[in-house]
Each structure stands twice: as C-alpha cells, then as structure tokens.
Amino acid sequence: MAKQPIKTSEDQGKGDDLALLSIGEEEFQKRFPLTFAALRKLDAEGADPRKIVLRVTAKAAGFRRGGISHPASPTDHPLSDFRDPAAIEAILSETELVAEITTAETETSDAE
C-alpha cells in the first residue's frame, strides 16, 4: 500500500504511515477495512496523497463522531488531522453520516 497521510505533525513530511508501520498492512486491513479499501482505491488511481481528505456530511447538523461535530454540509478533513485510524473508521461506518475518503480540489494545508 502506498504511503498515506495518517501521521503525527513531526512525521508529516517523512512519508511514513505510522499506523501501517506499527501494525502492518494485513492487520491494518483487518482492523480498518473501510479505511483500507478507500485508501487502496485511491492509491490504485494514482491519487496525490497531499489531496486526500475525509469528506463528511451529517444527516443532522451537529452529529458527533470521531471527536468532531459534523455540519449538514460537506466538510473536508485532511487525513493528517486524525491521529487514530479508528476515528476515521468510525466516521466511515456511521449511518448518520455520509462520509468518503476522496481527493480535494487543492492540496490540504497540513500536507506540505
């Protein structure tokens, strides 16, 4: 799997996926299947990692998941904003949210 931006701020420019380094690709896929599948798809499409975001829309404004209160309008969150892939997985699997890992039109500010 290509390097994806789930990092701490200190590691942001190093190109290391801390979650994969700590548990390995197979275990990451088992624990976070939705996240893994979305990142694998974007990797296969040749997506620019600096533009990968978690786009979230709440069905009811203010719904909380993954430590974030989500608005009813689409909001892009750089993956680097998330320190724990479990938060991403929780958002992707929540039925009260419409969420996807996709690419933004421009580079995310945290991914420089």
If pLDDT is split at 50, 70 and 90, which confidence band does 108 have? low
Place of tokens 């991403």: 88
Mean pLDDT of the chain: 83
Amino acid at 97: L
Q: Pseudo-torsion of CA 50, 11, 78, 44, nearest 10°? A: 50
If pLDDT is split at 50, 70 and 90, which confidence band does 89 have? very high
**What pLDDT, on the 0 to 100 scale, is given for residue 22?**
76
Please say if the pLDDT value at position 102 is more than 60. yes
Asked if residue 38 lies in contact with residue 92, where contact means CB atoms within 8 angstroms, the answer is yes
**What pLDDT, on the 0 to 100 scale, is given for residue 88?**
96
pLDDT, tens digit, for every residue of 19-45?
566 788 899 999 999 999 999 999 999
